Chain A
Amino acid sequence: MTALGVAKVSDLRSGGQKTVCLVERGGEQLVLKVVAVGSTSPEALRRAQREVELLQQIDDAHVVKVASDLIELGDPVEGAAWLEEYLDGEDLKDLVGAPWPVADAVAMALDVARGLAALHAAKVVHRDLSVNNVRRLAGGGYVVMDPGFARHTLLSDITIGGQPGTPGFISPEHLLAYSGIPTPASDVFCVGILMFLALTGQLPIPYTGDPSDYISRLSRVETLDLGTLRNDVPTEVSELVSRCMHPQPARRFRNGQRLADALQALP
C-alpha cells in the first residue's frame, strides 16, 4: 500500500492467488490487485511490467484503466500488485444464466470487442477473457478487465499447456506452445463463448470437472449447437458466433476491431 501510495477502504474479493481491495489515493477510489506469482521467472515479470506500461497508455471506455506500474512484492519476489480504476457495476458472471435478448447479447459483445480492439492495437492479447473479467457498469456498457499480464502473473484460475485460462472459456490455442500460442483471434474465440453463453445460458464447450475430457472436446472444438438450444437467434448472429469459434484461428475475425465491425454491421 505504501509503495503505491494508497490507503485501504475495504476488501472486495479474496481467494486463490488473488486479492482485490478497494483503496483510496488522493480522494480517488481505485482497485488494488495483488497476485501471488509463484514460480514466475524474472523475465516473465519483466514482460508483465512492459505490458502494464502498454496498458497504462490505453484510454478506452471499454478497457479498465491501469493506474500504476506493476510492483514486485518480496525478495525473492512472491507477488505483484497494481492499481486499476474502480468500476461501479456487476461482473458478467453474475448476469449470465438465463438467455438474454439477442440485442443485449450483441451489445455486450460489441463493447467487449471494442475493448479488445484497443488492446490488440497495443499488441496486447488478453488471453483470459471470461465472465470473471468483463464488468457491466452501473450506468450501462461493458468493460474488459485484467488483460494481458494475467499470462505472466498466473492470475487466472487454472493454467493449461502453460497458458492461463478459465475452464469453459478457453480457446484451442491455449493448449499449445511455440508458434501456436493465443493471438487476438483467440480472444475473438472467447467473445464467441461469451455470446453463446449470454444467448443460451450454457457454455458452448461445457466444463464438467474432468480436465482431460474438456481438453479433448476443446481441441476438436466440439461445441453445442446454438440453433438447437435457441431457435429464435437470427442467422446472421448465429453465423457470427460460429465464425468467432471457428476451429481455424485464421478463419475467425482476426482481432477485436474486425469483430466490432462485423457486430456493427449486423442488421
Chain B
Amino acid sequence: MTLLIEDTARNVLASWGGAAVAAGLATGAVISPFSTPRQHAGYKQSAQETVDRLKAEGAEVWFDPETHALQMPAVGDFRYYDDWPLWDGPRGQLTSHAEMRGHVERVFGEQDGLGVPHLAPTVLLHSAQSPASRQALDLARVAVEVDSACRLAIAGDSAFWSSGLTLDAHVGGLAQLEGGGWWLTVVRNFNVLPVPAMPEEVHGVCRTVRAFSEDGTVHVSHGDLAGLPAIAASATTLGTGWDPRQRVSCYGSYEARAPGDGGQWFSQATLEGLLSLMSRADASLLEQRDPTLSNRLLPGTVPPGANEAFIHHVDVLSRVVADLRGRAHRDAYQALADRYNAAQADWLSVAAAIGSRSRADTWISPLHDGLHRYGQTEGF
C-alpha cells in the first residue's frame, strides 16, 4: 500500500498509471467525474474501459465523486461531469436529508456499476465549526446509513486543517460514524509546487491521520511529497501523478478550460535526498557539476522526459512511503525528521553547486515544522 495515481485531463491514466502499478510502484488509481467521461468521449476512454485496464494491471481502483469541488470558486469544468447521473435534482443541491441520500445512493450506484469500492461524497470546508461542517457530518452520516462500510471523506482548505480544537472535535464527530476508512484532501488556492503548506495545517492533518489510523486505512488525496508527514503519522496511501494537478488539489483544476487545453507535459526531476522537485535545467546542471552529489540525491540520472520523470517520481515516493510505513509511530516520525534535516543540509550543497539559493525554506521547512508540532503533541 503506497500510492494511488490521481485522475488527469490527459488520456494516459490507464497506460502510465497501469504501468506504475504493474511495476510495483503504485497500489492503484483514482478516477474522477471531472476528468474521466462516463462514456467514451473524443480522445478520452470511458470510465469502465479505464477501470478495466487498470484492474488488468492489478490496480485497486477508486471513483472519487469530488463533490467538494462543486463548492470551489469558479468551478466550471463540467465537460464530463454532467454526463454522470449523480444528482436527483440540481447539481450540488445538498440541503435536505432526501437530497443527501439521493446523491449518496447515486454515487454508490455508479461505483457499483464500475466495480469499485464505495467512497462517500463530501463538501468543502473552510472551518471546522460552521453550518457547512454540520452539513459534512450529516452527509457522512447518510453515507454510513446507506453503506456502513463505505470509506468517508474530508476535504478542507488550509484554514480548516489548521483549526486546532475545532478540527479535533469535528473529526471526533466523524469518528463516531465508524466508516470503512478515510479519504482526506487538503484543498489549495493555487496549483503550485511546492504547495504553500502551513505548519499548523500539517499538524492538523497528522493529528487527524493518527486518530483515524487506529481503526482503518487513511488515504491522503493529492498528497504527494507534502503528504509525507501524514504517512509518518500512519496514513496508508498518498495520491500522486505526473501532472501538478494530480499532486495538488486546487481550485484551478476545476475551472472551465478551453477545448484541447492540455498544457505542457511536466518533467521536473524528483530528488529523493531533497524530498523536492527541481527543474530539468537545474537538475542537469547539478549532474554536470557534481555528479556524485546528484547521483546520491536523485538517485540515478536525470530523467529525460515526462514519462521517465513520472516513473522516477513514483519510484522515489513509493520507496519513502514504504520506508515510513514499515516503522512504529515514533520511529516513522524520527525517520522523516531525519530525512528533512538531511535535505535541509543537502539543499545548501546543491545551491552552492549550481550557483542558486537553497529552496529548503519552501520545500522542507513548513512540512518539517508541522511534523515537529505533531511530534510534540505525541510526546516524541
Which A residues are closer than 8 A to B by beta carbons?
172-173, 175-181, 183-186, 219-220, 247-251, 254-255
Contacts and interface: CB of A to CB of B under 8 A. Distances in A.
Q: How large is the interface on B (under 10, 10 to 19, 20 to 34, 35 or more residues)?
A: 20 to 34
A150 B136 CA distance: 26
Contacts of A220: 165
B212 interface: yes
B131 A185 contact: no
Contacts of A247: 165, 168
B207 A248 contact: yes
A255 B177 CA distance: 11
B116 interface: no
A180 B129 contact: yes
Given A250-B175, A254-B176, A180 B211 contact: no
B165 A219 contact: yes
A180 B175 contact: no
A179 B169 contact: yes
B171 interface: yes
Interface string B190-219: 000000000000000001101110100000
A180 B176 contact: no
B134 A178 contact: yes
Contact of A248 (B134, B136, B168): B168
7 contacts: A179-B134, A179-B136, A179-B173, A183-B176, A249-B175, A254-B175, A254-B178
B128 interface: yes
A173 B169 contact: yes
Interface of B: 128-131, 133-134, 136-137, 165-166, 168-176, 178, 207-208, 210-212, 214
B128 A179 contact: yes
Contacts of B137: 179
Given A176-B166, A179-B133, A250 B212 contact: yes
B211 A250 contact: yes
Contacts of A180: 128-129, 133, 166, 169-170, 172-173
Which of B129, B136, B174, B214 has the most chain A CB within a 10 Å cutoff? B129
A185 B178 CA distance: 13
Contact of A251 (B166, B178, B211): B211
A248 B211 contact: yes
A250 B134 contact: no
A59 B207 CA distance: 38
B130, B168, B169, B214 — which one has the most chain A CB atoms within 10 A of its CB? B169
Task: Count chain B CB atoms within 10 A of each CB in A180, A183, A186, A251 and give the residue with the most.
Answer: A180
A153 B166 CA distance: 25
Interface centre among B136, B173, B208, B212 (most CB of A within 10 A): B173
Contact of B169 (A176, A184, A254): A176
A92 B247 CA distance: 55
A179 B170 contact: yes
B178 A249 contact: no
A172 B211 CA distance: 17
Closest 7 pairs between A and B when the two form their complex, measured CB to CB = A249-B172, A180-B169, A250-B211, A250-B175, A179-B133, A179-B137, A178-B134
Q: Which of A172, A178, A254 has the most CB of B within 10 A?
A: A178
B153 to A, nearest CB: 14
A226 to B, nearest CB: 15
Interface centre among A183, A219, A248, A251 (most CB of B within 10 A): A248
Contacts of A185: 172, 175-176
Nearest to B133: A179
Contacts of B172: 173, 180, 183, 185-186, 248-250
